[in-house]
Amino acid sequence: MNIQTQIKRTAAEELLLDAFAAHGEALPGDSSVKAQRKAAAELIGRGLPTRRVESWHYTDLRRLLSNVAAFTQGQGAAAEAALLDGSTVLSVVGGKASASANVDGLTVASLVNGLADGKLAERLTLAGTDDTVGAINSAFVADGYAVDIAAGAEIAHPVELQNVHAGGQVHTRFVVNAGEGAKAVIVERQTGTGSALVSSVSELDVGEGAEILWIIVQDQPVEADHLAQFKARITANAKLTLFVMNSGAKLARQEVRVRMEGEHSQFHLRGVNLLAGDAHSDITMVLDHLAPDTYSTETIRNIVTGRADGVFQGMIRVAQKAQKTDAKMACNTLLLTDEGSFSTKPELEIFADDVVCGHGATVTEIEKAHLFYLMARGIEEKSARGLLVKAFLAEVIEELENEQAIEVLEDKLNRWFEAHA
């Protein structure tokens, strides 16, 4: 339409801007950080994205973020036990980071200092006008951790980054730098209790030849809105495996932005999306192949039950000089309900000619032949269905090169089924 009428702000937009006006000044940061925060708040002021913004096509944030939890902290949040035994736990409890670690090869600092002295200012720069998750985080981020993994260090036990809340607003950031040849397993836990607005941004630099397995486990309460971003830069010969398990929240948006900057780098994304009730869950990935001979695979599996809506957007961009790129993406969904929906947009944008890129997407119900096979062996329909659905998801989990993680994630999967079968 030609006539750009001044659209009335939604309640959520008002609340976010009010919170910034009231508390923005008190948030940590020098003048450069404050300038970034202001720019971020201005973007929020221009309105939350609707379907008309291409990267939010299936997640109309303006409509879905109907309310915003108060800018306070709920009482009684406490750090959770580690998901994987023996992990070094770095928790942000109710928006505050207080843990420290004494592990060889790990340097851990609270993020407050980095904000206060302006060292992190540049990191608060937004990726574009559609970077709403980044904007909410940049405007309000209060704490988190900066973790350095020394060059050559092989961290024996997983490092768990926890973001736990008891309601209210939590805006956290994790900045991880893996030095040359470093090896580590990192678990990112996003959980809590009560109605909340959580924004969390994780940034990872994978040094040359380093190998990182990063596992995101999001099981927010059904009252929470969860906006998360994972950003990584992968340099030459480095390998990053990212695993995402989404099983909670009223509204969840997990953005994955990965830049493969070094030759022979590898990126593997595995995702399991468990959707129930009235949840709206969105995984949006933008993957840039920027260097020659890079290799990536992405597999996302989704289960939709209840009245839930699931979304996967995956864009693979291959730059002109990224010859010999090999990129394969698959998104498979079992839609088990007529009241829910699943939407997917797997995009390829290719400027190099010598590449092999492909994507596949399916949305189906359980294969009748498989069901028949099991039922013919005396397994009743309900159990047979359960088995097939679990197998569909477990397949992705079992690809992980970490026995301990497989066990814990499969256990979580089973518990989800018990609760939602």
Partner 1 sequence: MAAVQETIDTVRTLDVDQYKYGFETLIESDKAPKGLNEDIIRFISAKKDEPEWMLEWRLGAYRRWLTMEEPTWARVEYPKIDFQDLHYFAAPKGITGPTSLDEVDPELLKTYEKLGIPLREQEILAGVQKPASDEPSDNVYASGRVAVDAVFDSVSVVTTFREELAKAGVIFCSISEAIREYPELVQKYLGSVVPVSDNYYATLNSAVFTDGSFVFVPKGVRCPMELSTYFRINEKNTGQFERTLIIAEEGAYVSYLEGCTAPQRDENQLHAAVVELIALDDAEIKYSTVQNWYPGDAEGKGGIYNFVTKRGDCRGKNSKISWTQVETGSAITWKYPSCILRGDNSVGEFYSIAVSNGYQQIDSGTKMIHLGKNTSSRIISKGISAGNSNNTYRGQVSIHRKAEGARNFTNCDSLLIGDQCGAHTVPYIEAKNASAKVEHEATTSKISEDQKFYVMQRGIPEEEAIALIVNGFVKDVIQELPMEFAVEAQKLISISLEGSVG
Binding residues for partner 1 (CB under 8 A): 1-3, 54, 57-58, 320, 323, 333, 335-338, 340-365
Identify the burial level of 401 via C-beta atoms within 10 angstroms of its C-beta, where 0-12 means exposed, 13-18 middle and 19 or more buried: exposed
Q: State in angstroms the smallest separation of the CB of 326 from partner 1.
A: 10
Q: Which one, 139 or 322, has the nearer CB to partner 1?
A: 322
The nearer residue to partner 1, 162 or 333, going by C-beta atoms, is 333
Report, in Å, the least distance between residue 389 CB and partner 1.
12
Q: Return the number of the residue (38 or 321) whose C-beta is nearest partner 1.
A: 321
Nearer to partner 1, 98 or 129 (CB): 129
Cβ nearer to partner 1, comparing 199 with 332:
332
> Quick one: three-class SS letters along the chain?
CCCCCCCCCCHHHHHHHHHHHHHHHHCCCCHHHHHHHHHHHHHHHCCCCCCCCHHHCCCCHHHHCCCCCCCCECCCCCCCCCCCCCCEEEEEECCEECCCCCCCCEEEEEHHHHHHCCCCHHHHCCCCCCCHHHHHHHHHCCEEEEEEECCCCECCCCEEEEEEECCEEEEEEEEEEECCCCEEEEEEEEEECCCEEEEEEEEEEECCCCEEEEEEEECCCCCCEEEEEEEEEECCCCEEEEEEEECCCCEEEEEEEEEECCCCCEEEEEEEEEECCCCEEEEEEEEEECCCCCEEEEEEEEEECCCCEEEEEEEEEECCCCCCCEEEEEEEEEECCCCCEEEEEEEEEECCCCCEEEEEEEEECCCHHHHHHHHCCCCCHHHHHHHHHHHHHHHHHCCCCCHHHHHHHHHHHHHHHHHHC
Q: For the CB of residue 55, give the shortest distance to partner 1 in the complex, in Å.
A: 12
Say how far apart CA 80 and CA 164 lie, in whole Å: 8
Q: Which is nearer to partner 1, 2 or 31 (CB)?
A: 2
Minimum distance from CB of 309 to partner 1 (Å)? 9
Shortest Å, Cβ 311 to partner 1: 10
CB nearer to partner 1: pick between 72 and 362: 362
Residue 220 beta carbon to partner 1: minimum distance, rounded to whole angstroms: 25
Q: Cβ closer to partner 1: 181 or 306? A: 306
Minimum CB separation of residue 59 from partner 1 in Å reads 13
Report the nearest approach of partner 1 to the CB of residue 318 (Å).
8
Nearer to partner 1, 79 or 363 (CB): 363
Give the shortest CB-276-to-partner 1 separation in angstroms: 14
